Structure 1
């Protein structure tokens, strides 16, 4: 008789514990979504793999010669379509965001390189002129 009572206590206690854990997990997911922690975690997961410029263009559906305005419009559209609030995928939205950052960095680098090259060539040109004058 006592063993039957102990067994029932263990079963009921286990059920109570599992229900509590399940509820805590649901609440943690709800909190993560409301604070944006899930979105930043997904974005961090995508960043770990570092996206190439070619992959970013493929995600956007563009080529290197595409106008920045067209790329920006495509990025806005893809980001909105993949919004989890509208039934989209947080992972895909994070990929679109990473593609945007990758293309912005590439564009910034493409504008910086000619300035550095001009500066280096000007220094080299000035040094070679001074050497030829001596």
Structure 2
């Protein structure tokens, strides 16, 4: 009899705790949606996964900050062609994205009048 009573208390207690946790989770989601935190977090994750930093682009192409645009273009051509013939599409696309990233940096520096 005591075992049955303890089992009932455990089942009821876990049900109550489960409902309370579910209600707290729903309330947290509701609050996050009201303040825009959830939307901002999703946008930050999307933005971070799509952009490549200048440092990462330089590492992929194997160039330094002192490299000229011509050196970057030559390195890009070499790596892109190598991956086109005997490499992987993934690496080829990373090389292409790295060139695009550095191209944006160099164009921005050119507009600002900063030496490259």
C-alpha displacement of 1:48: 4.5
Residue 97 of structure 1 corresponds to 96
User: CA–CA distance in 2 between the matches of 1:80 and 1:111?
Assistant: 28
C-alpha displacement of 1:112: 1.5
Equivalent residues in 2 for 1:1-134, closer than 5 Å? 48-83=49-84, 86-114=85-113
TM-score for the superposition, normalised by structure 1: 0.46
**Structure 2 residues without counterparts, runs of 5 or longer:** 1-47
User: CA–CA distance in 2 between the matches of 1:100 and 1:62?
Assistant: 11
User: CA–CA distance in 2 between the matches of 1:72 and 1:87?
Assistant: 20
C-alpha displacement of 1:114: 3.3
| Matched residue count | 67
C-alpha displacement of 1:54: 0.7
User: CA–CA distance in 2 between the matches of 1:114 and 1:88?
Assistant: 38
C-alpha displacement of 1:76: 0.2
CA-atom RMSD in angstroms: 1.9
**Structure 1 residues without counterparts, runs of 5 or longer:** 1-46, 116-134
C-alpha displacement of 1:67: 1.7
Moved over 6 A (4+): none
